[in-house]
Structure 1
Amino acid sequence: MPVTHGVHALVWTGGWSPEEARRAVAASAEAGYDLIEIAPIDPTGYDADLTARLLQEHGLQVSASLGLGADTDVSSEDPDTVARGRERLATALGVLRDSGGTTLCGVLYSKLGKYDAPATERGRANSQEAIAWLADKAAASGITLALEFCNRYETNVLNTTQQTLDFIAAVDRPNVMAHLDTYHMNIEEHSFTEAVRAAAAAGRLGYVHVGESHRGALGTGSIPWAEFFGALDEVGYDGIVTFESFSSEVVHRTLSNDLAIWRNLWTDNHALARDALAFTKAGLAGAAARRGAPG
């Protein structure tokens, strides 16, 4: 089965007003994508019914991603902060469900932002308990959670594939998967191939972000794309591959600052998205061709 090609909503818009939602969904379909990844960081601002209608109109699938803030950090030792985090996660889960999606991904397990100390034992346990609780709620709606490990400057809980697999093993829920992102892997992993193999061998390779080393256009940075696409082909990955890129051209009220998007990496998001889809399809096709070539 071919992969499902997605694009992050922040390529198109920094918000999700009715006008922004229409523009983002229409642009994603026009660029040739199968799916749009919405980012209900503040899920109270999302009209799920409108989103579902727009997706149906344009024949698109949907996933959702978010990162928590300091006041909703489920890896905190403060019970009130954890409770607020659980509420935020449950609300985002409802937005995804009512929009028609089946994968909630991203930094669901901690704050998205730099910490000034390692995660504590109690904080890590709170995070695992929150994800187990969320996974049970998600399972009732047929939804999978995909935990995106991030670089050391964006979380202190999960920075590598193996840490994520160990965390998932502790959570022990069948609908919790690993979310691999090439931008973060390029900082933290010693081998793209081994990371993909490990997640696949554990049966937990559930979601993929393709993002360049500088978060700009694919193929213009230092990501070892041939290795990565080759690894996905080797393990037979047939899930979602979402293009993620950020620029000061499109600004989200909180996420742009959390991700340190200080400069303008692109201005033409339509060309960016079309080129990224072509680059990804060519990379996966090339990997398949190399695998099938006679030795």
Structure 2
Amino acid sequence: MNKLGVHALVWTGGWDEDEARRAIAETARAGFDLIELSVPVPSSVDTGMTRRLLDEHGLEVACSLGLRFDADISSPDPEVARRGAELLDDALSLARGVGAGYLGGVIYSALGKYPGPATPQGRRNCVDGLARLAEKAAADGITLGLEVVNRYESNILNTAEQALELIDEVGADNVVVHLDTYHMNIEEPDFAAPVETCGARLGYVHIGESHRGYLGTGTVDFPQFFAALARSGYDGVITFESFSSAVVSPALSNDLAVWRNLWQDGADLARHAREFIASGLAAARG
């Protein structure tokens, strides 16, 4: 059975002790196995406190982030690429500190709209940066996930096929594809082909609706996606991700263009999502 997770931004936009305690407690109360912690500023997270609260509630954790334009390993500027590598090193240290076995997201470029395609030198810097990070992560048993996002959030990976090509270039066994139904709805031909294309190299999944609100109220073909996961034998984590202006993260909301209030009650949203995903998976498996 797949472990089910929920993104921390369903609960809170910050991560002080009160916010972390609420997010972790609500995640456990809603019946999830894991909470995904976004760490665009790794130094803002108290690893000891976070790990203590996770242990208290019996939850696992995954970490994610997107790089910045001034700290981007896909930049042709060596100084910008160096700052991107430092940010990834900090995120990896945080993942290690909180006990995460997974660090993913847009860890291969800045999270945002580029004015043009990646340069050849920028791509070489990206591959080299990921290879170095993968070697460090492997020493701690941490898997790296390359989240495939839409064209307005990266100029490197917009499709599953592109992710597989980049992983081949990196050449590390602990680097996997991270698919997200929100982005697939924009860039992929359907919700089955990318899963089949990735096969065993699919290592993490985000479930999100086309408008990032309640599941089943947009245009994502979830039955097709769940059926593809079942056929492929995917047994990894499936994490629900949703954003609303009701919960604002100063470091992330603007990057993700979270302008609208799509929901108010995170607890109701999360309970609905968990039941929706569990039911959909069960139906797909027959």
Paired residue for 1:221?
218
C-alpha deviation, 1:204, in angstroms: 0.9
Q: Deviations over 1:165-203 (max 9, x none)?
A: 000000000000000000000000002111001111xx3
Give the match's secondary structure for 2:192. helix
Q: Hey, what's the Cα distance between the residues in 2 that align with 1:141 and 1:41?
A: 21
Please give the root-mean-square deviation of Cα atoms over the aligned residues, in Å: 0.6
Q: Hey, what's the Cα distance between the residues in 1 that align with 2:157 and 2:34?
A: 26
C-alpha deviation, 1:137, in angstroms: 0.4
Paired residue for 1:168?
167
Give the match's secondary structure for 1:153. coil
Paired residue for 2:267?
270
Give the match's secondary structure for 1:32. coil
Q: Deviations over 1:137-161 (max 9, x none)?
A: 0000000001001100000000000
Matched, 1:212 2:209: yes
Matched, 1:285 2:286: no
Within a 5 Å distance, the mapping from 1:75-224 to structure 2 comes to: 75-200=74-199, 203-224=200-221
Question: Please, what TM-score do these two structures have when normalized by structure 2?
Answer: 0.99
Paired residue for 1:292?
none
Give the match's secondary structure for 1:245. coil
Paired residue for 2:16?
17
Q: Deviations over 1:29-72 (max 9, x none)?
A: 01110000001110001111111110000000000000011111
C-alpha deviation, 1:19, in angstroms: 1.1
Q: Hey, what's the Cα distance between the residues in 2 that align with 1:23 and 1:71?
A: 32
Give the match's secondary structure for 1:207. strand
Identity of paired residues, percent? 57
What amino acid is aligned across from residue 277 of structure 1 in structure 2?
R
Q: Hey, what's the Cα distance between the residues in 1 that align with 2:38 and 2:255?
A: 14
Give the match's secondary structure for 2:177. strand
Question: Please, what TM-score do these two structures have when normalized by structure 1?
Answer: 0.96
Q: Hey, what's the Cα distance between the residues in 1 that align with 2:144 and 2:8?
A: 19
Which sections of structure 2, spanning at least 5 residues, go unmatched?
A: none
Q: Hey, what's the Cα distance between the residues in 2 that align with 1:179 and 1:16?
A: 24
Paired residue for 2:237?
240
Q: Hey, what's the Cα distance between the residues in 2 that align with 1:87 and 1:226?
A: 40
Matched, 1:46 2:40: no
Q: Deviations over 1:71-113 (max 9, x none)?
A: 1111111111111111110111111111111000100000000
Give the match's secondary structure for 2:254. helix
What amino acid is aligned across from residue 131 of structure 2 in structure 1?
A
Q: Hey, what's the Cα distance between the residues in 1 that align with 2:154 and 2:226?
A: 26
What amino acid is aligned across from residue 174 of structure 1 in structure 2?
D
C-alpha deviation, 1:254, in angstroms: 2.5
Q: Deviations over 1:245-282 (max 9, x none)?
A: 00000001021101111110000000000000000000
C-alpha deviation, 1:15, in angstroms: 1.0
